[in-house]
């Protein structure tokens, strides 16, 4: 009895010991578990609060009706789906959202794929520059494109100063100025660079040996593309599809600016009106619907990934694809690519810049141009500071840098850690959980997420103090919202590095940190840079996520530009948008220089 007990205890101890040493040998497990705890709180808690908000009486309604705050109610669900106003606030916006998302994604995906193929694999003129220039639209806040479109095409439907076409005597029809067409186009032009980036990155990572083998067997370029490269791009296509659809569903600046005049509401604008009219119950219900759509997309993604399994496409040798000759198509494709650049990046920039340089809108005479709106000297509006002399712009600039900067660095680190844990713990619960949970925030509309964070972190909870009115709340909400970018890029980058190099390191006796520093870090350098740059860019131009959370003193450039619009300082607002664009572009250039990676040519470098 006694002995067997002892032996049992001993074997238990030994087993525990083995377990423990295995855990210590496998830091991915520790990292994974820590991430599970942190993310559960930061991602799941807001989602839970949204669900509970959808069925409990809001404080406002409780106060107005004299009931108890938080009482269970079907009021908001009824209101959204079956009430007399449900068609106005839900059903029509839903159809509109689906329509716009479909077209915007279709255009963005097609543009991204075509342009990425042209730039990475052909001898198109100016491919080096195009690689950078084509991602510029991504650096402009989405309201820039919409505002520029409006400045160009606005007609008499909404009065006020004439649009540019109007001042040349052309009267644009309503369907061109407002509604689904311009919204789809503007969204597509804002988001195609994302598709372009991902496709470029995948294209330059596809193992050249596959193509070499094919061409050795006599396959034509066309066959190589249709039989090898495009099928290999399917997982990337799915990712692009997912990210773009989710993004377009959650954007509100574009439909807000271009849809409102035509009363063309999307779910995002309907949600926004509900936020602004303090109907947090309705906000919660709409947010859940948007999230459910997102979760459906996620399920499709899981299915695709399972079907295609993982692609270890990074070749051991760093051979670059030789640009194929386009022949007679060289000039037309070049023109096409440059036109897209002109429309998506240069156009809005010029329109916005012109508006800050012209003393009187629409007057193109030489004497009408000047720097008054920038320097604040002799401004036509009299009591208006210049863009460079406004203390608000300086504060907002500082805040934007601080918030987007810290959020993106935290994001980048988290992204790679998630990637590491997910890929090194295949088939475990942790891996699946992390993969899905880190992507969840993308499917939540930013406005709803912000609302949830506001109600969650306005008061102190456990070790976390009340964060309302602090920069850390903004940083936190950005980190969580942008995690999908970082974790996606982290996971896909880690997937493409097979375990062999690390195993080789292990055989040679390298410890965990040694392996990270000497093997993974160099391999993942560019993935890390991308995992930081993408959130930074998005953070610099973020509006919907932060507009409810900023307080006086924590204004960002984007929210400040909205404040300027409220004040009637159109030029200041446009100037602020330009600053965002320039700051982001410069940061990207600096990062490219410092890390010697070229964001544009993907991970090929």
Smaller CB distance to other proteins: residue 360 or 500? 360
Distances (CA, A) of 90 to 3, 55, 202: 71, 17, 38
Residue 554 or 601: which CB sits closer to other proteins?
554
- Considering the complex, what minimum distance in angstroms separates the CB of residue 562 from other proteins? 10
The nearer residue to other proteins, 221 or 260, going by C-beta atoms, is: 260
Provide, for the chain, the percentages of residues in helix, strand and coil under a 3-state DSSP scheme, each rounded to the nearest 5.
75, 0, 25
Closest of 127, 56, 458 to residue 281, by C-alpha: 56
Q: How far apart are CA 246 and CA 234, in angstroms?
A: 18
Contact 48, 430 (CB under 8 A): no
- For residues 83 and 592, which CB has a smaller minimum distance to other proteins in the complex? 83
Q: Which is nearer to other proteins, 265 or 481 (CB)?
A: 265
Sign, CA dihedral 129-324-243-523, equals negative
User: To the nearest whole angstrom, how small is the minimum distance from the Cβ of residue 568 to other proteins?
Assistant: 4
* Residue 227 burial class via C-beta count within 10 angstroms: exposed 0-12, middle 13-18, buried 19 and up: middle
Q: Which is nearer to other proteins, 11 or 171 (CB)?
A: 171
Cα–Cα distances in angstroms (integers) from residue 167 to residues 172, 175, 363, 366, 488, in the given order: 11, 19, 9, 17, 46
CA–CA dist 563, 557 (Å, integer): 10
Cβ distance to other proteins smaller for residue 66 or 218: 66
Q: Tokens for 231?
A: 């099928």
The pair of three-digit structure tokens given for residue 273, joined into one six-digit string: 């009106």
Query: Which residues sit at the interface with other proteins, rule CB under 8 A?
Result: 59-60, 63-64, 83-85, 88-89, 156-162, 260-261, 263, 273, 276-278, 381-383, 454, 458-459, 466, 468-469, 551-553, 563, 565-568
- The kind and range of the H/E element at 350 are helix 347-357
Nearest-CA neighbor of 439 among 403, 474, 415, 472?
Answer: 415
Residue 91, Cβ neighbours under 10 Å: how many? 12
The rounded distance, in Å, linking the Cα atoms of 370 and 199 is: 42
Which lies closer to other proteins via its Cβ, residue 236 or residue 455?
455
């Amino acid at each position: 009895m006694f002995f067997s007990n002892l032996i049992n205890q001993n074997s238990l101890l030994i087993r525990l010991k083995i377990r423990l040493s295995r855990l210590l040998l496998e830091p991915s497990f520790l990292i994974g578990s820590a991430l599970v705890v942190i993310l559960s709180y930061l991602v799941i808690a807001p989602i839970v609060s949204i669900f509970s908000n959808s069925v409990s009486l809001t404080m406002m309604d409780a106060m107005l009706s004299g009931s108890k705050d938080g009482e269970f109610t079907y009021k908001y669900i009824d209101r959204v789906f079956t009430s007399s106003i449900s068609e106005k606030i839900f059903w029509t916006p839903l159809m509109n959202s689906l329509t716009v998302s479909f077209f915007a994604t279709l255009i963005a995906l097609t543009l991204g794929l075509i342009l990425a193929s042209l730039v990475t694999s052909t001898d198109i003129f100016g491919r080096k520059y195009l690689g950078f220039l084509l991602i510029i639209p991504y650096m402009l806040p989405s309201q820039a494109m919409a505002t520029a479109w409006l400045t160009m095409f606005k007609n008499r439907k909404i009065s006020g100063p004439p649009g540019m076409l109007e001042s040349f005597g052309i009267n644009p029809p309503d369907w061109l100025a407002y509604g689904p067409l311009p919204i789809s186009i503007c969204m597509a032009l804002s988001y195609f660079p994302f598709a372009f980036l991902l496709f470029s990155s995948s294209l330059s990572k596809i193992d050249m040996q596959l193509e070499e083998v094919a061409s050795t067997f006599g396959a034509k370029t066309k066959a190589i593309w249709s039989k090898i490269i495009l099928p290999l791009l399917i997982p990337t296509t799915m990712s692009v599809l997912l990210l773009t659809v989710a993004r377009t569903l959650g954007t509100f600046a574009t439909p807000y600016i271009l849809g409102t005049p035509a009363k063309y509401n999307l779910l995002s604008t309907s949600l926004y009106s509900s936020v602004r009219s303090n109907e947090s119950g309705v906000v919660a219900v709409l947010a859940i619907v948007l999230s459910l759509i997102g979760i459906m997309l996620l399920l499709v993604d899981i299915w695709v990934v399972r079907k295609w399994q993982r692609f270890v496409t990074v070749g051991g040798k760093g051979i670059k694809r030789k640009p194929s000759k386009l022949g007679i198509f060289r000039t037309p494709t070049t023109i096409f690519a440059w036109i897209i650049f002109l429309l998506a990046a240069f156009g809005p920039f010029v329109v916005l810049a012109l508006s800050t340089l012209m003393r009187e809108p629409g007057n193109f005479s030489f004497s009408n141009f000047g720097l008054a709106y920038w320097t604040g000297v002799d401004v036509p509006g009299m009591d208006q500071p210049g863009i460079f002399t406004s203390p608000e712009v300086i504060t907002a600039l500082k805040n934007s840098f601080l918030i987007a900067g810290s959020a993106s660095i935290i994001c980048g680190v988290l992204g790679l850690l998630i990637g590491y844990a997910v890929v090194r713990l295949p088939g475990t619960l942790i891996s699946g959980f992390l993969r899905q949970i880190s992507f969840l925030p993308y499917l939540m509309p930013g406005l709803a997420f912000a609302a949830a964070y506001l109600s969650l972190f306005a008061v102190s909870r456990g070790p976390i103090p009340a964060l309302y009115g602090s920069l850390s709340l903004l940083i936190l909400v950005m980190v969580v919202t942008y995690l999908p970018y970082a974790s996606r890029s982290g996971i896909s980058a880690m997937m493409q590095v097979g375990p062999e190099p690390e195993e080789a390191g292990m055989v040679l006796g390298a410890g965990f940190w040694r392996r990270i520093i000497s093997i993974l870090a160099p391999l993942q350098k560019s993935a890390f840079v991308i995992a930081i740059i993408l959130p930074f860019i998005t953070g610099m131009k973020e509006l919907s996520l932060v507009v409810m959370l900023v307080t006086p003193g924590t204004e960002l450039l984007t929210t400040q530009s909205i404040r300027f619009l409220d004040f009637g300082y159109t030029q200041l607002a446009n100037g602020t948008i330009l600053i965002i664009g320039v700051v982001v572009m410069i940061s990207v250039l600096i990062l490219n220089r410092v890390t010697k990676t070229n964001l544009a040519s993907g991970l090929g470098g």
